[in-house]
Chains A and B, each alone.
Chain A
Amino acid sequence: MRILIVEDEKSLSSEIKHFLEKEEYNCDLAYTGTEASELIAVNPYDFILLDIGLPDYNGLDLIKEAKEYNSEAYFIVITARGELEDKIKGFDLGADDYLPKPFSLLELLSRIQAITRRKFGHQSSIINFGDFALDTTKKHLQYSDKNIDLTKKEYKLLSYLVLNKNRVLDRLQLTEHIWGDFFEDDFDSNYIDVHIKNIRKKLSSFDDSNWIKTVRGIGYKFEI
């Protein structure tokens, strides 16, 4: 997978690159719209992360331009301006997702993965752990063909943990994924823990293994 990161803040784009390269993505950097435009013209990218607040270019024009050369690329628009009209315009012009700054890198990754699954038609949408099977297209969990009743949020939480298996997810990342960038100011409340407790209870009625590990003071980790 080849990704172009169009972001004028060098420090931010290098962090994104660093993170995504660890996830086996090839990343190119463009700091200006002109650079981006040149790179898009010659390289076939799978994804383009685009900060629409570029100094020399209207980021949205870049989408239009890119669509002419490279209709295969998927766009994730990043903005700190949060203009409401731009949000709508972005989608109209073919942006596939939208992330307001600041975002967590894990959330960015999960958006990329979601688009990949959606657009590329992932070979297998079923993830197995033990005798459990998590179907990410049908959005349900089964234990040896037996449906396990999960609430919407429980499913979202569990699938996020499973898709990012063997990685520590902190409470903020989980909150951001489930509740979005909604104005939430009490992170210390334990409602994430309550959901985890409920998921564990539902899993443990089928299987004794402790799939979801608590990482003290930070969050949770799904271990396979």
Chain B
Amino acid sequence: MAVLVRAFQNVLAWLTLADYDSAKERATVDIVARLARRNVSFQNGSILNGAALRKLSEEGDAAMAHLRKLASHN
């Protein structure tokens, strides 16, 4: 059953050209991992794309605002 589901997903990815986009993403991760000499996270393929970086930055801003609010109450 799992094989059939996987085959269906592959056909769907092929039809929607999602295989093209995912191959490009994999290529980016491979290049970053190859050039990351001293960073284990990069070597393991953990990199932030633009959207993830923006989300992390917004969460950081919200956390800082929350901390400032807490500090002003104490």
A is bound by B: no
